[in-house]
Chains A and B, each alone.
Chain A
Amino acid sequence: SQQGEEDPQALSIQEGENATMNCSYKTSINNLQWYRQNSGRGLVHLILIRSNEREKHSGRLRVTLDTSKKSSSLLITASRAADTASYFCATDEGSNYKLTFGKGTLLTVNP
């Protein structure tokens, strides 16, 4: 069953705007990861945040994690047309070797 659930399911913005996607999950985690998938391609890892971290930055990406609310958000600042893709959160419970993926947010950045 799905652990992470992204919100919104789809998001359309203009180039230069910021995009925020949210992820909620159900059980305790060791870390939470965000991935990007361009149409027809495999997933690419973007960023990992550990359960004892609250915020992490990587370039134009900012991820927050609130373990008390079992939620995470991914912010993409100053978006570009090339950021158009589906974004997935994935939770790692740590006790096994698996990630559990959400259903994704489809981000469209209009030039």
Chain B
Amino acid sequence: NAGVTQTPKFQVLKTGQSMTLQCAQDMNHNSMYWYRQDPGMGLRLIYYSASEGTTDKGEVPNGYNVSRLNKREFSLRLESAAPSQTSVYFCASSARVRGQGYEQYFGPGTRLTVT
């Protein structure tokens, strides 16, 4: 099993450009998450999807949109990138079913720089 995969690994954007970060998991998990990690700030939740067909805002959703394409895939879109969105982005998934665990499994991250 690959676990949680993310593409791309690195990306440089100019201010105003758009892009989509892709995430896929092969563990049949119900819930998926997008976080950003900035120095000294820990992980902050951008959006999450409790189950296929639902998405909800997290702590820092402004400037982002998400799509839960199917049970496996959860994408994050930056419509008009800003320098403040320079960060490392992590996707995670979790079963969140009694007897199957509540821990989250993380992808390797995408390092995004907006100039």
Residues of A within 8 A of B (CB): 1-2, 30-31, 33, 40-45, 48, 88, 90, 92, 96-104
Contact = CB atoms under 8 A, between A and B. Distances in A.
Contacts, number: 55
A48 B103 contact: yes
B103 A45 contact: yes
Nearest to B111: A40
Nearest to B3: A42
A2 B43 CA distance: 9
B48 interface: yes
Chain B at the A interface: mostly helix, strand, loop or mixed?
A: strand
Contacts of B105: 45
A31 B103 CA distance: 10
A80 B109 CA distance: 26
Contacts of B41: 103
Given A42-B90, A43-B90, A102-B42, A97 B48 contact: yes
Given A97-B31, A101-B42, A102-B42, A92 B90 contact: no
B112 interface: no
A2 B48 contact: no
B42 A99 contact: no
